[in-house]
Chains A and B, each alone.
Chain A
Amino acid sequence: MFDRPTSKELIEAVYLFLEERIKKELPKHLAFNVQISINILKIVMRELDKGESLTEETKQILINILGDSKKATIKNLAKEISQGKIDLNNKKLKEVLIEITKKKLSVDNPNYSTYKKLLK
């Protein structure tokens, strides 16, 4: 129901402005914080872009390991691990942790060295 630009397009307009026009005008310390701000906006954009589908995929993964659809939450997975209900050697658990973490990085920082390594 909302007009163009979309929220993603609005965010992109702001970070391009910061990147192309503002950053170079500022003293080092402020330019550093502007770069951080740009990175934050890019995270938000990626989350808007893929957040919903990643959350849904994660839910399926959690249902697969925790069983119940209602119980299939990150909170409960954390609880089961801390209460020792899933053994640390459980192969499925390890795969689940790897998969979910990769999904998080795809939004938080797809350029991270270890993430890129694990994609190969």
Chain B
Amino acid sequence: MKEELKKNLENLLKKNFNTVKVTCLEYLTGGASNETWKFQISSGSNKEDFILRRSFGSSSPLAILKSEEAEIQRLVYKEGAPVPEIIAVADKDSPLGDAYIMKYVEGETIARKILRDEKYNLVRKNLAFECGAAIAKIHKVPIKKVKGLQNKSAKDLIDQLHDAYKSFQHPLPVFEYTFKWLKEQDFGSQRYNLVHGDFRLGNIIVDEHGLRAVIDWELAHIGNPIQDLGWICVNSWRFGQSENIVGGFGQIKDLLKGYSSISKNDITNEQIKTWQIFGTLRWGVICLIQTFAHLIGENNSVERAAIGRRVSETEIDLVDMLFLGGN
């Protein structure tokens, strides 16, 4: 199987390199519907590392194709955002299937390491600014060029989330309250930008020099850009460093400084707070989705069983923010 994969990779990359020999083909991660591999190409004395991401038919009708992900990354790369360079894309009918190859970016993705290792002490001071700037560059992508993504207004997102929550018939008064509250909020004139959808530690590559790359574009869509700023402020994504509102490493003023260094969009703290509340609720619903997948026997694991008891963490963050002026 690995041999076949090697051959298919070499065939795809013939257009890019004179002599293609794939070595050190290594499976990294994957789930039921997609895989990530790492490999090396040697041409002469030059060795370069690459990543293959491929999917076996979508897990959900809303999931975007890997080729669409690649196209988004290409557009984001053009805006100067830190994102791995796309080398090649394969069609779903090709021998490799729906897939793309990108340059491997060296660095760390594990949140606790980035937040605690001395190695990143200096990086952390500037990371909120860097993230703000990167997010702004993502939002600058001209949406006319983006194909295959759905337009989702704030109302669409809230309704979709509400439907998902209701499907489990597991009534949660705090969630009901938050849904009602969100539906009363004025999200202003609807803005439509490219949104990453899951920008946080875990989905960014960091090294001793700073933010190197933004990865994992599966949840990308077109919608209100402030949700990317709210999401990284959700308490769960601070991985225990709660005082640092942005991702466990920074403060909102620095996130916004970074953002406004690139974008003229005027964004208020209040708007970020509203999307942080939405994001907290969204994460809570995701916990429900994961734990019920385990409970119906679709995807058993201790992780998914345990995650059901993290719903209450999102509830306490919501009551803190909604009633007690919490951050």
Give chain A's interface residues, CB within 8 Å of chain B: 33, 36-37, 39-40, 43, 74-75, 77-79, 81-82, 84, 88, 93-94, 97-98, 100-102, 104-105, 108-109, 112-115, 117-118
Contacts and interface: CB of A to CB of B under 8 A. Distances in A.
B176 A82 contact: yes
Contacts, number: 89
B171 A114 contact: no
A117 B320 contact: yes
B125 interface: no
A101 B309 contact: no
Interface string B283-327: 000000000000000000111011001101101110110111010
A75 B171 contact: yes
A39 B302 CA distance: 10
A94 B324 CA distance: 10
A112 B313 contact: yes
Interface stretch (B40-48, B98-106, B138-146, B177-185): B177-185
Contact of B319 (A36, A77, A79, A98): A98
B303 A33 contact: yes
A78 B324 contact: no
16 contacts: A33-B303, A36-B303, A36-B306, A37-B302, A74-B172, A77-B173, A78-B172, A78-B176, A84-B180, A97-B319, A98-B323, A108-B309, A108-B313, A112-B313, A113-B242, A114-B242
Given A40-B305, A78-B176, A113-B242, A98 B324 contact: yes
Interface residues of B, number: 32
B310 to A, nearest CB: 7
A117 B326 CA distance: 10
A33 B175 CA distance: 29
B184 A113 contact: no
A15 to B, nearest CB: 13
A98 B171 CA distance: 16
A112 B302 CA distance: 20
B312 A81 contact: no
B312 A108 contact: yes
Nearest to B317: A114
Contact of A118 (B179, B240, B305, B320): B320
Contacts of B302: 33, 36-37, 40
